[in-house]
Amino acid sequence: MSGPSDSMRAVLERLAHEDRDLADPTTLRPEAGRALSALTNLRWNAELPEVARAETTLIAGLPARRIVPGNDTGTDAILHIHGGGWAFCSAATHEGAARRLALACAAPVVTIDYRLAPEHPYPAGLEDCLAAWRALPGDRRWSVAGDSAGANLALAAMLRLGAEGAAMPAQGLLFYGVYGADFDTPSYLAQAEGPGLTRAKMQRYWDWYAPWDLRGEPTVAPLAAEDAALAALPPLYLNAAALDPLRSDSEALVARLRELGRADPFDLVEGVVHGFMQMGPALPEARQAFARAGEVFRERAG
């Protein structure tokens, strides 16, 4: 596996300089780590893409942001579930990402604040996501998207809806997700020390989110899902960052889907680290990844 791209290396050097005196948020008290993560994410929302409308609202009693792009086609919409290890981040930290997704897909994006671990471990966050899904208005064809732990929750929500025989999203967009709790995969070992996300950070996130005796549940670790449940999923688009401890999670999920005869598009983005799509203002690969996801989405939305 090659190292960081030139643009990724420049971002990593910037982060090393800007964050040189900061603690690892996962080693702090959860509320302190959460606040620090929110502050450091401000840099990715300094140059927000222009949209037709961006408003704060409530969905199923949850604070939410609704982003309507100027190129809205009027037919589809997306519920976006933010990442952050099930413990950090919010609709506010992912404002830039939500806007880029809305513009790329030519569809409104709703992103919610769900309950966070460790104060609210599994299944609280998932139940909030499902409540939001069920409360969405019926005037659009709705899809679901998520990054990192948000991709985990998006996939878990689809698996739960499938198990209940409920209506499924039209599509799923899953960005560098966490789908299993095996910390000895090839990518966990290769990228144990980062850059960026590390094996130790993911272990702490998991410890906050779900105890070991729950990690065999498909709605906790979707790689545990049965073949029939994966086969019944709506059309997916997946990507992964090459320099990411979670890369093998996506590769294992894609291998399962291929074995089932599915052809869901999957892009392995070389030279970038976990969370790279948050870095849109500074990273061309992030902007390209949104464009690619939007291309797939619009082709299916038709």
Residue 183 placed within a domain: yes
Within a domain: 1? no
| 223, part of any domain | yes
d(CA 70, CA 106): 8
Residue-wise pLDDT for 125-137, tens only, equals 999 999 999 999 9
- The enclosing domain of 283 has a CATH number of 3.40.50.1820
Percentage with pLDDT > 90 across the chain: 98
Count of domains observed in the chain: 1
CA distance 49 to 156: 30
CB 280 within 8 A of CB 11: no
Structural tokens at position 193? 């020390």
The predicted structure's pLDDT at residue 2: 82
263 lies in which domain range? 6-301
Residue 213 in any domain: the answer is yes
Mean pLDDT estimate for the chain: 98
Q: Is residue 120 part of a domain?
A: yes
Does some domain include residue 200?
Answer: yes
5, 148, 248, 250: the catalytic one is 148
Q: CA–CA distance from 56 to each of 92, 108, 113 (Å)?
A: 10, 13, 11
Q: Is 274 a catalytic residue?
A: yes
Residue 245 neighbours by CB distance under 10 Å: 29
> What DSSP element (H or E) covers 145?
strand 141-147
- Asked if the structure places residue 146 within a domain, the reply is yes
**Its pTM surpasses 0.85:** yes
Which of 76, 128, 147, 244 is labelled catalytic?
244
Catalytic residue among 80, 82, 94, 274: 274
Kindly indicate the confidence band of residue 91, based on its pLDDT and cuts at 50, 70 and 90.
Answer: very high
